Amino acid sequence: MSDQPSQTNSWDAQRYDGLHSFVWKHGADLIEVLAPKAGERILDLGCGTGHLTAQIAAVGADVHGIDRSDAMVDQARGNYPAISFAVGDAREFQHARPFDAVFSNAVLHWIKPPADVARACFRALRSGGRFVVEFGGAGNVGAIADAIRDAMYAMGQPAFHEINPWYYPTIGEYASVLEKQKFGVTFATLFDRPTPLEGGEEGLRNWVKMFGGVFLATIAPARHEEFFRMVEEKARPLLFSNGQWSADYRRIRVVAVKP
Ligand code: BEZ
């Protein structure tokens, strides 16, 4: 997980920790919303390489990280040997003892169907336990997605919507997913977070290589350069300035409680 393609668990954990470290660095804000306390039992769902899990552990919480990617979990264990990490699927994990909170940053836009995730989290929480999550919301990476959509079409590749791996709900859609599971939604917001991409001129294509694997996989490697150029040409007026690309992230942040 971390930011994880829904149908695969192959991730480049080093690239994720390097060029794309902004993904977990932004998650520090969400830890303030979680407000973990010493002794609380907390699940970090889609823990990636474990950096946020470690920040939660630092307050004395008993935190456990799960991620669907073996590579991420291996790296998390290497980074933080004292913390418990395991490979697991957000849609069907089970734990013997209930958690006080489930936390998840920048992951749930990769996992469909969202109702399965909500059900597994509801089951994993104690009564009064909280669900604190942030991920891509409605309109997230809209300009990047438009550029990919157009390039796929121009190159005769499968239609974007047929292979789109991302789930970006509105507040209303996601609140209703949670309410169907009997969660009480206590807070929800949708906000823009334009995010500079490292790598200068290469920034957007690096992002597509890391997160757009499902699209690249349909295109012969000899045509990747053509694809990148089309994506860059379409996105440039909106997302490139002063020698730097930025990603037009829009986040949904939600807190819900199990009654
Ligand atoms: C996101 O964090 O919003 C995101 C990351 C990778 C691909 C799509 C969205």
pLDDT of 199-222, one tens digit each? 999 999 999 999 999 999 999 999
**151 in contact with ligand 1, CB cutoff 6 A:** no
Residue nearest to atom 9 of ligand 1 (CA): 136
Tell me the pTM: 0.90
Are 15 and 210 in contact by the 8 Å Cβ rule? The answer is yes
For residue range 101-152, list pLDDT tens digits in order: 999 999 999 999 999 999 999 999 999 999 999 999 999 999 999 999 999 9
Residue 189 carries which side chain, given as an amino acid letter? T
Three-class DSSP category at 82: coil
Three-class DSSP category at 38: coil
**106 in contact with ligand 1, CB cutoff 6 A:** yes
**3 in contact with ligand 1, CB cutoff 6 A:** yes
Q: Please identify, by atom number, the ligand 1 atom nearest to the C-alpha of residue 136.
A: 3
